[in-house]
């Protein structure tokens, strides 16, 4: 653990929160970034209980200067960055024929550009520590559907961007990978099921129960499943992996 520092964006809930808490076992300091400070403070309590010292940075990473502020505050407080986990990003789930330019731009601004800026601003510190970057993508990158057009587009762009950063990272000593989760049961998944149920003449409880078999998966993923994968990728055990797009989906994607 030593004095190692991890930054987790999107740390206020879901996979980001679970990842921050999991990394508290491996890193001395965990920096928590998201828009909702009250939720971040709750994550900070859990991180502290798990054994790490948290730093809360409540910023909207859609804003061009937010990533620079995040990195600056981290270096000012701890003097180094060993891992950056770009998890923030909620892209609207709207049919491709109905999405407005503003909705497209909003989805791209956080998940793609927020992560890109954070990585660029953290890069020199990551070079010094021979650190690691993980980008959150998703299965839709390889299986686009009309109702998830923006999600799929952004996720595919993230996989490509991560690959490009990884190629540069080989020269600079920075490990870079992306992670592609399948259906993970978070608040966003619950919102989706509330729309899915009436469209399929089911109650929400029935839809939740039947969805895994209809989707052909072993079970819903839990945020902790992805958090454990993230922790592996930024650990010494996963250090030789770079440029990989790692899928964890319970068997959802049937293609090779």
Whether 113 and 190 map to the same domain: the answer is: no
- Domain identity same for 130 and 202: no
Predicted TM-score (pTM) of this structure: 0.94
Task: Tell me: do 91 and 115 sit in the same domain.
Answer: yes
DSSP string for residues in 135-159: EE--GGGTS--GGGHHHHHHHHHHH
For residues 51 and 27, is the Cβ–Cβ distance under 8 A? no
Q: Are residues 170 and 212 part of one domain?
A: no
Encode the chain (256 residues) as per-residue pLDDT tens digits: 689 999 999 999 999 999 999 999 999 999 999 999 999 999 999 999 999 999 999 999 999 999 999 999 999 999 999 999 999 987 777 888 998 999 889 889 999 999 999 999 999 999 999 999 999 999 989 888 887 888 899 999 999 999 999 999 999 999 999 999 998 988 777 777 788 788 888 888 888 888 888 888 999 999 999 999 999 999 999 999 999 999 999 999 888 7
DSSP assignment of 180-228 equals EE--B-SHHHHHHHHHHHHHTT--HHHHHHHHHHHHT-SS-B-HHHHHH
For 203, the domain range is 185-220
Is the domain of 118 the same as that of 155? yes
The gap from C-alpha 139 to its chain's centroid, in whole angstroms, comes to 13
The whole-angstrom separation of Cα 248 and Cα 54 is 28
């Amino acid at each position: 653990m030593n004095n190692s520092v991890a930054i987790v964006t999107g740390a206020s809930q879901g996979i980001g929160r679970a990842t921050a808490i999991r990394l508290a076992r491996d890193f001395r300091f965990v920096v928590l970034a998201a828009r909702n400070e009250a939720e971040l403070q709750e994550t900070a309590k859990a991180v502290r209980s798990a054994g790490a010292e948290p730093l809360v940075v409540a910023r909207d990473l859609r804003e061009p200067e937010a990533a620079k502020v995040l990195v600056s505050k981290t270096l000012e407080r701890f003097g180094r960055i060993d891992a950056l986990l770009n998890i923030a990003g909620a892209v609207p789930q709207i049919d491709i024929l109905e999405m407005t330019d503003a909705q497209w731009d909003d989805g791209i601004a956080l998940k793609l550009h927020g992560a890109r800026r954070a990585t660029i601003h953290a890069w020199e510190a990551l070079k010094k520590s021979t650190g690691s970057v993980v980008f959150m993508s998703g299965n839709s990158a390889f299986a686009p559907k009309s109702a998830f057009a923006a999600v799929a587009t952004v996720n595919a762009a993230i996989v490509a961007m991560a690959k490009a950063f990884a190629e540069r990272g080989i020269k600079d000593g920075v490990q870079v990978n992306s992670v592609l989760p399948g259906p993970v049961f978070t608040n966003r998944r619950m919102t989706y099921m509330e729309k899915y149920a009436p469209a399929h003449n089911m109650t929400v409880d029935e839809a939740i129960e039947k969805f895994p078999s209809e989707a052909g998966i072993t079970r819903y993923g839990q945020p902790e499943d992805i958090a454990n994968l993230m922790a592996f990728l930024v650990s010494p055990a996963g250090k030789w992996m770079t440029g990989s797009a790692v899928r964890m989906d319970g068997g959802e994607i049937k293609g090779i």
